[in-house]
Amino acid sequence: MYEYEYEYGSSGGLEALGIGYIIVMLLLTLLVIVSLWKIYDKAGQPGWAAIIPIYNIWVLLQIVGRPGWWIILFFIPCVNIVIGVMVYLDLARVFGKSVGFGIGLILLSFVFLPILAFGDAEYVG
């Protein structure tokens, strides 16, 4: 009969891939947080609100001109997706951008949020 020797362990390749993935995700998260901070500042709101859970949604609703009670809708499954889409489309609108830019915010927010934050977009309310 054949005997097989199994080596338990790994060569380190998968661990490096995992660490690389974590680093990329942390950098993208940091980019989004900094972008939201700048967007909040442009809209006349405190930038630090971007890092406070739930409160950041409240402030975002104020920026886009939606009523504060909409925050409850973010806690309802499936409804939160529709409301999130509407809020991002409104965010593009209040900064004078097109619906196409709003769709970009929805699909590639880590690209379009920095464009909105560090570009020439002005808050028109």
Query: Which residue type is seen at 97?
Result: K
Q: List pLDDT tens digits, range 80-124.
A: 999 999 999 999 999 999 999 999 999 999 999 999 999 999 999
Annotated domain spans of the chain = 13-118
Q: Which residues fall within 8 angstroms of residue 72, CB to CB, at 6 or more apart?
A: none
Q: Which of 100, 99, 92, 84 is nearest to 121 (CA)?
A: 92
pTM of the model: 0.83
Q: Which residue has the tokens 């362990």?
A: 9
Tokens read off for 19: 């660490």
pLDDT digits (tens, 9 = 90+) for 50-71: 999 999 999 999 999 999 999 9
